[in-house]
Amino acid sequence: MSDEVLSSAATPTPPKSLPRMLSYVWRSPGRITAVVVFSFVGTLLAILPAVLVGSIINGPITDGDKSALAVDLVVLLVVAVGGFFAMWFGGRLLAVAAQNAMYELRREVFEHTQKLSLRFFDRQPIGDLMSRVTNDLDSVNQFFDKGLYTAINSVFTLLSTTVLMFIVSWQLSLAVVLIAPVILLMMSITSKRSGPAFAVLQERTGALNGAAEELITGDRTIKAYRGEEVALAKLEQLSDEAREAGQHANFVALTASPLSAMLSNLDITLVALAGGYLSLQGTVDVGTVASFFIFARTFSRPLNQFAQILNMALLARAGGSRVFEILDEQPEIVDRPDATKVTDIKGHVAMDHVDFSYVPGVRILTDVTLTAQPGQKIGLVGPTGAGKSTIINVITRYYDVEAGDIRVDDASIYDVTQETLRERVGMVLQEPYLFSDTVMANIRYARLDASDEECIAAAKAASADSFIATLPHGYDTVLAGGGSNLSQGQRQLVTIARIILADRPVLILDEATSSVDTRTEKKLQEALTKMMRGRTSFVIAHRLSTIRDADVIVAISDGRVVDVGSHDELMAAKGFYHDLYMSQFRGDASPLVSA
């Protein structure tokens, strides 16, 4: 198992990501074949009028035959309209294929992330993951949405023009084709010049955006300390530097278009010169020259678009490879092939000589052994960072231990499926997490088949009912921003309602009531005590009063179990727990109190 963080944007992109991306489009081969056929026929028909223009000038117009002119023009119209429909259908079919591919890609990525273990989410900042799934997938989408269509059309336009052109006059065709290497050369020179210029721009824009972020997030400090002038000067300077770099880079980039326009015009000049010469020689006639004026333009147009397509493809490849890195990430914690299901359990939980580290070499738990008898309340205490939450993380198998074993009702948790294990354990986490959905849906998240009445009953038991009643739409209020308008204590109450509804035989409460106000907490404690009756529970709390009545208190320090016993036993032993307990009263030493 690799512990490296997913490579950053700077790492070289594996070249195979472009074919891999396209393989998603190829999942509907019939449709793609139809796209190719329609597009080819369409561009051919759309360019054919250039040939007809020549023959009409040579034929009816030179002959002075108006009725023949009308007939020929009807043919031209039919061809043009046919080309239009064929191209349009091709484009529409491509849209379906491309967006199917995007759908599949998004689905695969999401479903894959759901299988990944917590360790992956620990080392992968959410912002980075979001950026991969949004920005990087979007650059793939840009390519599928615009690039593919332009690419297919450009290739066929070039192909159709070349074929038709050489059929009409190979000599003049040579004059037209001459432009291709010149345009490609010119494009590579411009991109060589604009590349470094844009690199400077990107760097300065990065500095500017970084400063903007710093200044905006530091807005309160700036205003409270009257730092407005300093802040404005900083932004203004960086903005001005970005402006300067932008002027240069964009000017270089914008000159590409006049240059290629000039080359295209010079190509037409060449056609005029060669056409004039050849027609005076009698090799070609005047209508053919007219056709080639049109050919010269249809030929150079796709050439100019190649740079743009290439750019999109490169962006898509870079984005795609970052997305595929997620797809190639293997879930770290997997069920054994013969894993059994946990059915009804009594709630006996035992950790046996467990060692654990999040990062190899930095031991968090060392030789932890503890036992919870069915129905017992276990209090976990210890300083911040001692490893209390880690114990909970390994009991629920969010992480695998390095050594030792964990058993639930005598079955090792490594022999059962993660899913059924977690379905027996109810957890309330330190940071209450709510979804931007209704209050009811948030509670029901614990048990999807629960009725409204059951959800409300759970909320009442969690003392959440009274504040929910004051919300604009009661239980149907949508919690915008994941309940950001609720207080931390209120959010905690909703998560407790969840756990009451979930009705699990084993319970874990990690600082579950830390932000609940004192009056509510009293009521809540009664409900929690009632819920814990007959269930095995693990309780972590800073307020030692919360766990004084635990059947067993386990004191943890530096990842080791240092004290095990009831409150009275441990106080009498005057060990680590006793010191921890007494350290809270340091304030008593202050003269105001001790007098």
Partner 1 sequence: MKLTNLRRLLAAIWSDPQGRKWLLWSQGALLGQVFFDLLIPQAIRGIVNNGIIGGNFDWVIRGSLYMAVFAIASMLFATANAYFAARVGEAAGHRLRVAQYRHLLSLSWGNVDRLETSDLLVRLTADVNQVRTVTMNSVTTLLRAPLMIIGAFFILLAIDARLALVMAVFLPVVIGVLWFYQRKGAPLYRAVLARFDNLNQVLQENMAGVRVVKAFVRQDYENDRFDGENNILQDAATAAQRGAALLNPALLLIVNLGLAGALWVGGGLVIDGDIELGAVFVLLNYLVAVMIPLVLLSVLLPQIASADSSVGRILEVLNEVPDVPDKPDAATLFDAAGGEVRGRVVFENVTFGYLGPDGEPNPNPVLHGIDLVAEPGQVIAILGATGSGKSTLVNLLIRAYDVTAGRVTIDGVDVRDVTRSSLLEVVTPVLQQPSLFSGTLEQNIGFGVTDDPRHVDVVTAAKAAEAAPFVEDRPDGYRGEVKRRGANFSGGQRQRLAIARALVRRPRILILDDTTSALDVATEARVQDAIRELMGDSTIFLVAQRISAVLTADVIIVLEEGRIVAKGPHRELLHTSEQYRSIYESQLGAVPEHV
Q: Which stretch binds partner 1 (CB under 8 A): 310-318, 351-359, 405-413, 540-548?
A: 540-548
Count H helices and E strands in the chain, helices first.
24, 10
Identified binder of partner 1 from the candidate list 189, 261, 327, 359, rule CB under 8 A: 261
C-beta closer to partner 1: residue 232 or 573: 232
> What are φ and ψ of residue 399, in 5° steps?
-135, 150
Beta sheet of 425-428, edge-to-edge order: 425-428, 506-510, 536-540, 377-381, 552-557, 560-565
Q: With binding defined as CB under 8 A, does residue 224 bind partner 1?
A: yes
Structure tokens at 589: 């030493």
> Which residues 307-366 are close enough to bind partner 1 by CB under 8 A?
none
C-beta closer to partner 1: residue 8 or 583: 583
Q: Which stretch binds partner 1 (CB under 8 A): 6-14, 263-271, 316-324, 366-374?
A: 263-271
Q: Which stretch binds partner 1 (CB under 8 A): 98-106, 175-183, 321-329, 402-410?
A: 98-106
Closest contact distance (angstroms) between CB of 229 and partner 1 is: 9
Q: With binding defined as CB under 8 A, does residue 279 bind partner 1?
A: yes
Closest contact distance (angstroms) between CB of 318 and partner 1 is: 19
Structure tokens at 39: 């597009």
C-beta closer to partner 1: residue 175 or 552: 175
Q: With binding defined as CB under 8 A, does residue 469 bind partner 1?
A: no
Q: With binding defined as CB under 8 A, does residue 28 bind partner 1?
A: no
Three-state SS letters, 386-426:
CCHHHHHHHHCCCCCCCEEEEEECCEECCCECHHHHHCCEE
Residue 479: other Cβ atoms inside 10 A: 20
Identified binder of partner 1 from the candidate list 18, 34, 37, 118, rule CB under 8 A: 118
Structure tokens at 572: 């009498």
- Which of 451, 442, 509 lies closest to 479 in space, CA to CA? 442
Identified binder of partner 1 from the candidate list 6, 36, 37, 61, rule CB under 8 A: 61
Q: Which stretch binds partner 1 (CB under 8 A): 11-19, 166-174, 227-235, 335-343?
A: 227-235
- Which of 28, 153, 145 lies closest to 97 in space, CA to CA? 28
Identified binder of partner 1 from the candidate list 8, 12, 15, 134, rule CB under 8 A: 134
Identified binder of partner 1 from the candidate list 9, 71, 77, 178, rule CB under 8 A: 77
Identified binder of partner 1 from the candidate list 22, 80, 318, 339, rule CB under 8 A: 80
- Which of 348, 299, 382, 270 lies closest to 535 in space, CA to CA? 348
Closest contact distance (angstroms) between CB of 286 and partner 1 is: 5
Q: With binding defined as CB under 8 A, does residue 273 bind partner 1?
A: yes
Structure tokens at 229: 């002038």
C-beta closer to partner 1: residue 77 or 573: 77
Q: With binding defined as CB under 8 A, does residue 473 bind partner 1?
A: no
> Which residues 552-581 are close enough to bind partner 1 by CB under 8 A?
581
Identified binder of partner 1 from the candidate list 32, 231, 461, 570, rule CB under 8 A: 231
SS3 486: coil
Closest contact distance (angstroms) between CB of 133 and partner 1 is: 6
Identified binder of partner 1 from the candidate list 18, 429, 562, 564, rule CB under 8 A: 429
Residue 512: other Cβ atoms inside 10 A: 25
Query: CB within 8 A of 186, min separation 6: which ones?
Result: 256, 259, 260, 263
Closest contact distance (angstroms) between CB of 367 and partner 1 is: 26
Buried b (16+ CB within 10 A) or exposed e, 295-330: bbbbbbbbbbbbbebeebbebbbbbbbbbbbbeebe
Identified binder of partner 1 from the candidate list 286, 310, 411, 478, rule CB under 8 A: 286
Strand-pair category, 552-557 with 560-565:
antiparallel
Identified binder of partner 1 from the candidate list 126, 192, 338, 362, rule CB under 8 A: 126
- The Cα–Cα gap between 415 and 61 comes to 89
> Which residues 203-222 are close enough to bind partner 1 by CB under 8 A?
205, 208-222
Identified binder of partner 1 from the candidate list 2, 337, 361, 519, rule CB under 8 A: 519
Q: Which stretch binds partner 1 (CB under 8 A): 3-11, 290-298, 309-317, 324-332?
A: 290-298
- The Cα–Cα gap between 235 and 214 comes to 10
C-beta closer to partner 1: residue 113 or 321: 113
Closest contact distance (angstroms) between CB of 353 and partner 1 is: 26
Is the CB of residue 43 less than 8 Å from the CB of residue 153? yes
C-beta closer to partner 1: residue 403 or 435: 435
* Angle, alpha carbons 197-199-204 (nearest 5°): 100
